[in-house]
Structure 1
Amino acid sequence: MDKMYKLILVEDDNSLGYLLSEYLGMKGFNVTWAKDASEAMLKTKTNVFDLAILDVMLPDMDGFELSQKIKAINAELPFIFLTARSLKIDVLKGFSLGAVDYLKKPIDEEELVVRINALLSRLVSDAGHEDQVSQYEIGDYVLNMDNFELNYKGKPIKLTGKEFDLLALLAKNKNQLCTHKEILTTVWDKNDYFNKKSLNVFISHLRKHLGQDPKLSIVNVSRRGFMLRVEET
């Protein structure tokens, strides 16, 4: 991570707040921890953050209302909800308010970091803050983003549009987990059972296309997603 991203974490549970702020700090993020909505509002007014992580259940205001007040201060600040509530209506409400992700407690710290990295990478890319990558080197392969072509030692390999989009996402995040949700919403624009079945088929196709380089593998991380693993030589 070249840039140290600034996060605001709003969590009233002292143990969880301390754990997450320390863990995210160890992973290279600059974390500001607020223990209630009032403190979060004050810090948002006096600091510029790249991402807000909001607990839904706060003592002075719920996270949904807080997210709208924060958006009034900084309309461009993306936010993730953390909640112990698992009702579908709450999840849908979170996304309807503009959340970029929604994680249910108990929080898996590693998954949270993966989600944050993926979201920030996508948001920065979408905003045009990074130069467009013209190609990805994947072992002995090159994925050319200009002509939508995969090459193995100079020889072109024909990919379908979905195969190319899927490989581009995995290549962009090589050696990092891409969750099922991230892949399906990015490549298929919809996270559902039928597209998840299609994803497994496309992963099999890509494994065959990349099979000429033993340093490469697409790893299935059980019930979480896939990772394009590239062994360094």
Structure 2
Amino acid sequence: MTDNNKILLVEDDRNFGDVLSSYLEMNDFDVVLATDGEQGLEKFKEGQYDLCIFDVMMPKKDGLSLAKDVRQLDQEIPIIFLTAKTMKEDVIKGFKAGADDYISKPFTSEELLYRIQAVLKRSQRSEQKDRSAKEFEFGRFHFDYPLRILTFTAADGSTAEDKLSPKEAELLKMFCVYVNDVLPRSVALKEIWGEDNYFTARSMDVFVTKLRKYLKPDENIEIVNIHGNGFQLRVQTAEKA
């Protein structure tokens, strides 16, 4: 756990928010407090944060709506919801809105701290995925990243090669690193295209379509669109004939 992780806390009960802020600051977090959803969105746009904590029931903009807006700007940042509701439907709505965790009031400060630490550790592990590999095997494919060559081996042992463009190779490498896991759209856009905006997102969609065509010969492989998050290279285990 590193010091000075920055947290955006959006809680409409000012007294409760002040108490939580003080407790988290005592535990080496830098906390920015907003007291309604609209203010929370503005604070998010103004700063860089490691984690968000949103109350669900708030004036002007509720926590679920706020989370959806934040996810449009940053698909990776961890979000924890605070709520007095415990209905299963509300929990599901929270996770659909992009929650990484969900804690019901009343709760102890220690419980919230534990959940924050757990979510941040998961987030940091995700960011540390190994990207040093140069060659990848998945399904019936072999991908030589430095040479940008994708080789398909058919059931009869025959092979076919495709030479990828630089961006196709960069994107396929990221899919291989994240194989069977979600590749957040913003991660790929920032790393390959340099920025995350409407135009680069549309460009990425074009390259995903191209990669799907390359991978089509293997029926056990597909690139799936994960709505509101990114894409997933799914590789089902299959015995080579």
TM-score, reference length from structure 1: 0.54
Distance 1:129 1:81 in 2: 26
**1:98 match: secondary structure:** coil
Distance 1:10 1:28 in 2: 19
Name the residue aligned to 2:53. 53
Structure 2 residues not aligned, in runs of 5+:
131-241
- Verify the 8 A CA contact 1:36 1:58 in the aligned structure 2: yes
Name the residue aligned to 2:103. 103
Name the residue aligned to 2:40. 40
Q: Which structure is richer in relative contact order (CA contacts within 8 A, separation 6 or more)?
A: 2
- Verify the 8 A CA contact 1:7 1:51 in the aligned structure 2: yes
Which protein has the larger Cα radius of gyration, Structure 1 or Structure 2? 2
**1:77 match: secondary structure:** coil
Distance 2:65 2:25 in 1: 27
CA shift for structure 1 position 77:
1.5
CA shift for structure 1 position 126:
1.6
Name the residue aligned to 2:179. none
Residues 153-232 of structure 1 mapped to structure 2, 5 A cutoff: none
CA shift for structure 1 position 129:
7.2
**1:8 match: secondary structure:** strand
Percent identical residues: 43
Structure 1 residues not aligned, in runs of 5+:
131-233
The Cα RMSD (Å) is 1.7
Task: Spell out structure 1 runs of 4+ moving beyond 6 A.
Answer: none
- Verify the 8 A CA contact 1:8 1:31 in the aligned structure 2: yes
TM-score, reference length from structure 2: 0.52
Distance 2:15 2:37 in 1: 18
Name the residue aligned to 1:118. 118
Is 2:30 aligned against 1:30?
Answer: yes
Please tell me the residue identity of whatever aligns with 2:12. Answer: D
Distance 1:14 1:37 in 2: 13
Residues 129-140 of structure 1 mapped to structure 2, 5 A cutoff: none
- Verify the 8 A CA contact 1:44 1:73 in the aligned structure 2: no
Count of aligned positions: 131
Distance 1:107 1:11 in 2: 14
**1:42 match: secondary structure:** helix
CA shift for structure 1 position 70:
1.1
Distance 1:93 1:2 in 2: 31
Q: What's the CA shift string for 1:61-110, capped at 9, x where partnerless?
A: 11111101111122222201000011110011111222110000012110
Distance 1:44 1:97 in 2: 16
Name the residue aligned to 2:199. none
- Verify the 8 A CA contact 2:78 2:119 in the aligned structure 1: no
